[in-house]
Structure 1
Amino acid sequence: MYIILTSKSDEYAAQPEGGMVPVESYEYFFYDKKKADFTIAEVIADGGRVSIVEAGEGGAVNSVPLKFFERFETLEEARAELKQLVTFGHIETRLERTPLR
């Protein structure tokens, strides 16, 4: 099973706490301006959580259970959902695969 994590520069970062392994990472561009980072992670254990960390010094950290994230049975389903999330008719958007961090 897979989930999609979203991070936005200067706003927040989504980081797996445990029970999952990142498998692919992408940068999302809207009219050539980077808007977000997406990570597809494989869920390998129940009870995992994701830390949502606010940007900046002293940013709050929220620990969110996986039950609040949409899950996909296959990596291909997660990729298809990600593509759908960033496609808006004729608006210029693109995803660029990046090395895992």
Structure 2
Amino acid sequence: MYIILTSKLGEYDARPGQGILPVESYEYFFYDKKKADFTIAEVSGEQGRVSIVESGEDGRTNSVPLKFFEHFDTVEAARAELEQLVTFGSIETRLERTSLR
């Protein structure tokens, strides 16, 4: 099973917990300005959690259970969902694959 983690620049960072292994990472650009990072991660159990860490000195951390994330059977299905998420007709957007961080 796979999930998509989203980190939005200057707002929050999604960090995988135990049993969640990142397999691919992408940068999302909107009119040549980087807006977010997406990570496709493999889930090895159903009890894992993702930490959502707010940006800034006083940023809070929220621990979110996997049941709140859409699940995909294959990495290909997760990639297809990412493409659909960032496509807005003629609006200029793109995904660039990056190395895992």
Indicate the SS of the match to 2:17: strand
Indicate the SS of the match to 1:81: helix
Partners of 2:39 and 2:26 in 1: CA distance: 6
Partners of 2:20 and 2:63 in 1: CA distance: 14
Partners of 1:15 and 1:33 in 2: CA distance: 23
Letter in 1 for 2:84: Q
User: Within 5 A, what are the aligned runs for 1:17-96?
Assistant: 17-96=17-96
**Structure 2 residue runs without a partner (length 5+):** none
TM-score under structure 1 length normalisation? 0.98
Instruction: Give the superposition deviation at 1:45.
Output: 1.6
Partners of 1:90 and 1:10 in 2: CA distance: 26
Instruction: Give the superposition deviation at 1:79.
Output: 0.1
Instruction: Give the superposition deviation at 1:19.
Output: 1.3
Whether 1:7 aligns to 2:7 is yes
Indicate the SS of the match to 1:18: coil
Indicate the residue corresponding to 1:100 in structure 2. Answer: 100
TM-score under structure 2 length normalisation? 0.98
Instruction: Give the superposition deviation at 1:58.
Output: 2.2
Instruction: Give the superposition deviation at 1:18.
Output: 1.2
- Percentage identity across aligned positions? 77
Instruction: Give the superposition deviation at 1:43.
Output: 0.4
**Structure 1 residue runs without a partner (length 5+):** none
Shift >6 Å, 4+ stretches: none
